[in-house]
Structure 1
């Protein structure tokens, strides 16, 4: 090989090495964030806002994958069956974990098949009646329910509104009749139209109707009064101290995800929940940005699961 050829060869190899060093590494695959309900609801909104902000915090893209059906079971099963590598996560409403395994004969998964990364938001329920109802206060509601069977609408068997009213009637010694609908929207329409006496509705959905004068709020299920309705008492302060009920939104992962990855995701998640932009996004929709780490979330889920299992059993509720 000539001297000139050697020089050319060395220059060529140096050029390849330089290009290799300059070329960016292949980006990681995006994280798939499974939302187990259709687009458009409060959980979907929370998941999309979370995905947008985690992209910055984690430095990775997140893609929201809506897997609705069976009250969240289909999406949960999809995550349970996914590889435990941190690339597939579940944006869950707590009822998917705390209610479904007791409600369904075959939910398709066990709570132990998933592990929490953290809680990100909470939202209370409002006990509401039509604006034209003669029932003006919580005391009126209980007194009337002890005299006659009060009807109440919900978004379906085992929904948050169904279980909340069953639980409250149990505590208050009332007579009630459940009228299930296919979702929260038709339940609210029936309530506004005075086809039923009452309902427990989540704050984000009920608030505009209360503020618009179509519904009357009798009480709120959170531990403290909500700033949007400061004159509405909590059920706890009205004497029902056991009745502190809040729905929660959680980030969950397959149970076998390594603890180190859970910790990494949890650190990123805590930063997002503390972000004023995320907090405002939650407040604008009637929710509260609420951080709880993996350990505390696990304890909370266990306690809630026991509570709702008892309510479901006592009231013979099943799917």
Structure 2
């Protein structure tokens, strides 16, 4: 009898103990956030992703009544910061800013220390921006067709912000669909490549719209086509690649928010709600639209589908075009 009572008591005690983490966990979720949040941006300060993250951090931080501190961890083609976030505790206090480049990195690098789909959880898809084929204003080509005549007559030099970045991907899509060969010159960022295009040291760039629109409007660069499905409000007179006869050159860079896999769904949903409200607010949506972004505000499930599709799509293109990591 004593043995039986002892056994029953042990079982009851074990059950009670097993409930403690759950109860504590539930309390943590209901009181979240109770301390400052780290928002890892795997790019240098001042870039497009960094600007978006800081806007979200400020707006969502006020709504959540907690400080959200942006932590720039650039390096290793944006993998340094992503790996740091992937290996952080799944408690909701680590956020990660990601872009299309992270989806491409899954096939561009063969030995990544983290998996985008296994070690990180999608929270919110925030905004998109197209890319633009731009040439120096001194270039006689006024249309994509005229540019392609040049590209088929001789091998042109094209710059990008680095191997595997959206501008490089746009370049490869153009080469693939137009059946041209170009000499790709990777730079450490979009600004240096634009400077060389402005100085006529490059023939063209497939540039992020927010980076080149100012030069286009000033007449220093000429935009020949945009990679979005529709014309962009900032460049209404510039046709899409599809309108210009190359429907396969469709690509939009995006930025979003993820957290470590295993983060409680209640926390993910709460953060997603506030991030989406922030990016759709008049203050932020008008500001990012003026920069060339289109606010999207997709939740965890929809964002997960975007990531999945882009990982699959670019795995094939990386293989076909033999795109190498820098």
Task: Tell me, yes or no, whether TM beats 0.5.
Answer: yes
Which of 230, 242, 257 in structure 1 is aligned with 2:236? 230
Distance in 2, matches of 1:162 and 1:91, equals 20
Distance in 1, matches of 2:154 and 2:229, equals 29
Give matches, 1:2-41, under 5 Å: 28-41=34-47
The answer (yes or no) to whether the contact 2:173–2:248 under 8 Å persists in 1 is no
Shift of 1:27: 7.9
Give matches, 1:100-115, under 5 Å: 100-112=105-117, 113-115=119-121
2:107 paired with 1:99: no
Distance in 1, matches of 2:161 and 2:112, equals 19
Which of 125, 128, 131 in structure 2 is aligned with 1:125? 131
2:168 paired with 1:162: yes
Deviates more, 1:108-117 or 1:73-82: 108-117
Cα distance change on mapping 1:82 and 1:265 into 2, 3 Å: same
Cα distance change on mapping 1:27 and 1:124 into 2, 3 Å: closer
Q: Residue by residue, what CA displacement relative to the aligned partner does 1:161-209 show, whole Å, maximum 9, x if unpaired?
A: 1111111110111121111222211111111111111111111110111
Shift of 1:305: 1.3
Distance in 2, matches of 1:27 and 1:35, equals 20
The 3-state SS of whatever aligns with 1:82 is: coil
Partner of 2:19 in structure 1?
none
Which of 68, 87, 91 in structure 1 is aligned with 2:74? 68
The answer (yes or no) to whether the contact 1:101–1:109 under 8 Å persists in 2 is no
Distance in 2, matches of 1:170 and 1:201, equals 17
**TM-score normalised according to structure 1 size:** 0.88
2:301 paired with 1:291: no
Q: Residue by residue, what CA displacement relative to the aligned partner does 1:33-56 show, whole Å, maximum 9, x if unpaired?
A: 000111011111111110000012
The answer (yes or no) to whether the contact 2:90–2:262 under 8 Å persists in 1 is yes
Query: Which protein is bigger by CA-based radius of gyration?
Result: 1
The answer (yes or no) to whether the contact 2:101–2:164 under 8 Å persists in 1 is no
Distance in 1, matches of 2:76 and 2:301, equals 28
Distance in 2, matches of 1:287 and 1:260, equals 29
Which of 203, 217, 228 in structure 1 is aligned with 2:223? 217
Deviates more, 1:85-94 or 1:309-318: 309-318
Partner of 2:193 in structure 1?
187
Partner of 1:138 in structure 2?
144
Aligned residues: CA RMSD: 1.6
2:198 paired with 1:198: no
The 3-state SS of whatever aligns with 2:77 is: helix
